[in-house]
Amino acid sequence: MKILLSPAKKMNADVDFLEPRRLPALLERTEQLMRYLQNLPYEELKKLLGCNDAIARLNFDRYRKMQLRRNLTPALLSYEGIQYQYMAPHLFTEPQYAYLEARVRILSGFYGVLRPFDGVVPYRLEMQAKMKTSFCKNLYDFWGGSLFDQLEESNGTIVNLASQEYAKAVLPYVPQAVRVVTPVFGELCEGKIKEKGVYVKMARGEMVRYMAEHAITCPENIRPFRRLGYRYCAERSNDSVFVFLR
């Protein structure tokens, strides 16, 4: 069983807490992206990243100085978004880290797919960035089926906790032999399920922590999850979508 996660836009560099265990599996392809981004003029990079001047300048400087094999942070500890704050990866035990390393895969526009202890540097490049180049029409085209191949889950199960932006970089390549379960975290509003972005991110982080704490290897065992006010709703769930309502 593999657990898919999205990355976060905000990142840090922490080379002291825990050391990375290996380099990302698709690093050579990341180097190709890096060379392209390093050669972009500032205004073109800003437009590609779709951000303000402060963030664009930060990442323009990052790409100019970037080294992908030195001063690395484990991916799980590098991302700082809401999902990762609620996951609280600095507080995991060694057995929980081992569980995550075996099962969690973080999808990335820049690195493709990451294991929790792959060494990374701070970057900004969303999967849906409009990056049309001589070697790809966008990042979904660039990565193709290579992200699913790295999951090594040809006949098992995927628990999809990634956003739609990132999940669609993998799900089109999943064969029928692989079961995909997508937890949905929402609220009932006039009989319809409404997902609220911040709460969804919080719940995804809590769900990863819950799975690690209970060493879950079967998706059915996430149904007792009861954090942040969420409860499993059997009437609105099926074999591929597990609905949690608050």
Give me the pLDDT at residue 237, please: 97
190-226 pLDDT, tens digit per residue, is 888 999 989 999 999 999 999 999 999 999 999 999 9
116-134 pLDDT, tens digit per residue, is 999 999 999 999 999 999 9
Q: Mean of the pLDDT values across residues 132-159?
A: 94
Determine the structural domain holding residue 42 and report its residue range.
Answer: 2-245
pLDDT higher than threshold 80 for residue 15: no
- Cα-flanking dihedrals φ and ψ of residue 73, to 5°? -120, 140
Q: Are 113 and 50 in contact (CB under 8 A)?
A: no
Q: Are 133 and 40 in contact (CB under 8 A)?
A: no
Our count of domains for the chain comes to 1
- Hey, is 216 helix, strand or coil? coil
- DSSP letter at 234? G
